[in-house]
Amino acid sequence: MHLRPKIALTILPIILLQIIVLLIPSFILYQQYFGDKIKGQINESIMLVQNALDAQLTSVTANSAIFSQSVILNRYLLTEDESIRFNVMHKVLVKEFSSFINAHPEYIEISLIMPDGYEEVSLMRNGAANVTDEEQDTDYFKNIVKSESDVEINTLINPDTGKWTLISARKIYQRNTIEQSATTPKKIKGYLIIKTDFSFIASLLKNNSLLTNGFAIIHDAMGIPVLTTTEKMLQFNHQLKIFNESEFDYKPQLSTWSIDNESYIVGQKKVMDNLFFSIGWSKSELNPLLKNMLYTSIQNSLLLIICSALILFWILNKQLVIPILRLSIAAKKMGSDGIWILESKSNDELNDLAATIKKMGLSLIEQKQKVHDIAYLDSLTQLPNRRQFTDVLAHQYNDTNAERPEIALLFIDLDGFKDVNDKNGHGVGDSLLISVASRLNNVLRAEDKIDHIESISNSLQHHVARLGGDEFTIILKGIKDRNAAEHVARRILNAFSSPFTIAESDFLIGSSIGIAMASECGENAAELLKNADTAMYEAKAMGKNTYRFYNPKTSHKPTIKEKTSQSNLV
């Protein structure tokens, strides 16, 4: 027997059974059906709130991480002189806070709290008044101080507004300004506080179709409402406390409540520490639905079932199975190769699903690239940063097993940059650093930029990076003797012989270059970097704007006092 007759003979008894089930116990089945649908909608409403809250937590965590790296914020914390901080930097940081809070309308306050608990800088939306600057006794400050994590998010009553608020607190670390190296220990210099109201959840509750005669409440462990759609909260407190004191996990729980002689299907879930969500639907809305659906279904069920049975076996394969299989293959291809191979001309839910999966895949690829850029690129010059430089340098050693790599490391420190920066301001200084980075790239081949460690090839490209401040490095590959490294150093000095034009003004700066050959003085990456740094200071000691090779017999590592003295002469 062929497959089609088998399908038809299989569907026929199912049709007869469905007719019997629908005609005899239809009312009970519909009641259970609608009950399950309501429970499903309750669970969906709970998950919508949970997802909105999770998205908000993820967003505020990511934004606080980005903003904590703000150049202005870090300069403010590096400024030891309190009079300069309050009279000069304070206004600049408030302006930075203002631009950040304007870009994120869900944030109601951004503030900077010092390690002693004093709120030194604060900006509230709409110019609201700050009740107190002393935050050391607040719960959220105590939590972030004793936390082992760099960021803590709490739900508390905002002491400034008296309203419930999501409060994100992030630790801000900085290294010693004299010795900025990977081994210098970080210290907590302050805490970045971002406060958010619950308006992003209020809109979800307002548009929820379940709440015509029902209720939705976000509350704490004691049943105290944080956000509610009903004015009958006092009648719910007993049930809320029973739920919170019982054993449960983070999965939604369903139960039945009786309030004012009316029965409710209630869903509850713990959405985060000390925060719960409860939503209830009145069963009184179920009876009219059951009656209408029962009459309609009896009239149409027979015709619909017969028709659906005739075309079921046809549409299952053509409209559902094959498209889902193609979608699965396309999703796997997107995950493995980052390309989308499915082009659907249909206009249905599967096409929408395919578009959503495609959009999600492209978004993940884009986010991965953004995260890579944040982690591995210098935000000012767009050159590779210290972290990526360290990875690439270490890779050169790991790639050669026990042998030393054929590389030379150029450590470049700008001569005269501090004077330009101090006299003309940080804006001109930043523009000058960008121009320096461009000129260094032009000295090398245009394609010589450090890639992420996963994409490093065996090509003999040279790599330029910014370590921080006015310090740059260049890794020269395939260097067997000093001649090639010396040639590049001369090209750099020659490139710096022309003035830099910034804001219609010319600035002439030099560069002191320390060169360390891996074959001569680089047992490992750390030693090579240290020796190149030492050679750079020798170049400065020789009059600056020159280069020096590291010589194990004659070179010595400069002391902190020598470094400071030479830096003051830059």
pLDDT digits (tens, 9 = 90+) for 85-132: 888 888 888 888 888 888 888 888 898 998 988 888 888 887 767 777
Amino acid making up residue 251: K
Task: Please tell me the predicted confidence (pLDDT) of residue 517.
Answer: 93
Strand, coil or helix: what is 86?
Answer: helix
Mean pLDDT across 256-265: 76
Q: In 3-state terms, what secondary structure has residue 173?
A: strand
**pLDDT for the residue 418:** 92
And the tokens for 417? 């940059």
Weakest-pLDDT range from 143-147, 416-420, 508-512: 143-147
**Range ranked top by mean pLDDT from 62-71, 219-228, 458-467:** 62-71
H helices present in 259-285, as ranges:
none
Residue 140: its pLDDT value, please? 84
Tell whether the model's pLDDT for residue 545 goes beyond 90: yes
Give the confidence band of 557 by pLDDT, cuts at 50, 70, 90. Answer: low
For residue 485, pLDDT beyond 60: yes
Q: Please tell me whether residue 545 adopts helix, strand or coil conformation.
A: coil
Amino acid identity at 442: N
Q: What is the mean pLDDT of residues 343-367?
A: 76
Q: Which of 216, 221, 242 is nearest to 50 (CA)?
A: 216
Q: Which residue has the higher pLDDT, 370 or 7?
A: 370
Tell whether the model's pLDDT for residue 460 goes beyond 90. no
Of 437, 438, 484, 432, nearest to 460 (Cα)? 484
pLDDT tier for residue 302 given thresholds of 50, 70 and 90: low
- pLDDT tens, 11-20? 767 777 766 6
Query: What long-range pairs does 343-346 form, CB within 8 A, spacing at least 24?
Result: none
Rounded to 10 deg, the angle between the 349-376 and 386-398 helix axes is 90
Measure the CA dihedral 160/111/273/275, to 10°. Answer: 40
Q: Which of 34-38, 296-300, 350-354, 435-439 has the lowest average pLDDT? A: 296-300
Residues of the chain above pLDDT 70, percent: 76
Predicted confidence at residue 244, as pLDDT, reads 58
pLDDT tens-digit profile of 208-248? Answer: 766 667 778 888 777 777 877 766 554 556 666 555 555 55
Mean pLDDT, range 416-442, rounded to an integer: 92
Q: What is the mean pLDDT of the chain?
A: 79
For residue 416, is pLDDT > 60?
yes
> So what's the pLDDT on residue 307?
74
Within 443-532, strands assigned E span 463-468, 471-477, 500-502, 505-507, 510-517
Per-residue pLDDT at 408 exceeds 90: yes
Q: How far apart are CA 460 and CA 238, in angstroms?
A: 73
CA dist 113 to 92, 185, 188, 317, Å?
A: 16, 21, 11, 62
Structure tokens at 564: 């400071």
pTM here is: 0.45
**For residue 176, what pLDDT band results from cuts at 50, 70 and 90?**
low
